[in-house]
């Protein structure tokens, strides 16, 4: 059985997971576009024309990655979840809320869980 706490991730897997989290805003937009079914008489304008031309497979993959992120976040206490994602996506640690070691611990736990959910390990 998988034990995230005992596994050391390869650097390539760590960086894949980190970049998926850094891409979370685009993943949310693609997922929203996939879930939205326009009506026949509805005009749809997109802020980002590059996203509008994405294939269904790309949008499905974005939804899958978002689901994996949400599942991996369940391994972290609720009060640290969103700040952990922000910590990874913005590449800075929140000050004053918790000690730096706490953020490192939850970030490491989250990345390992995400790698597992994405079937990278």
pLDDT digits over 88-108, tens only? 887 776 666 777 788 888 889
CA distance 30 to 22: 15
Share of the chain above pLDDT 90, in %: 37
Share of the chain above pLDDT 70, in %: 75
Beta strands in 1-121 (DSSP E): none
User: Is residue 76 within 8 Å of residue 86, measured between CB atoms?
Assistant: no
For residues 6-29, give the mean pLDDT: 89
């Amino acid at each position: 059985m998988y034990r995230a706490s005992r596994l050391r991730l390869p650097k390539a897997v760590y960086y894949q997971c980190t970049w998926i989290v850094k891409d979370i805003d685009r993943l949310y937009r693609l997922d929203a576009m996939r879930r939205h079914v326009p009506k026949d008489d509805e005009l749809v304008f997109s802020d980002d024309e590059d996203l509008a031309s994405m294939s269904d497979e790309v949008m499905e993959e974005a939804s899958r990655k978002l689901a994996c992120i949400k599942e991996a976040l369940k391994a972290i206490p609720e009060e640290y979840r969103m700040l952990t994602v922000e910590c990874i996506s913005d590449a800075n640690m929140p000050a004053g809320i918790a000690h730096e070691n706490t953020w490192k611990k939850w970030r490491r736990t989250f990345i390992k869980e995400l790698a597992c959910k994405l079937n990278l390990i």
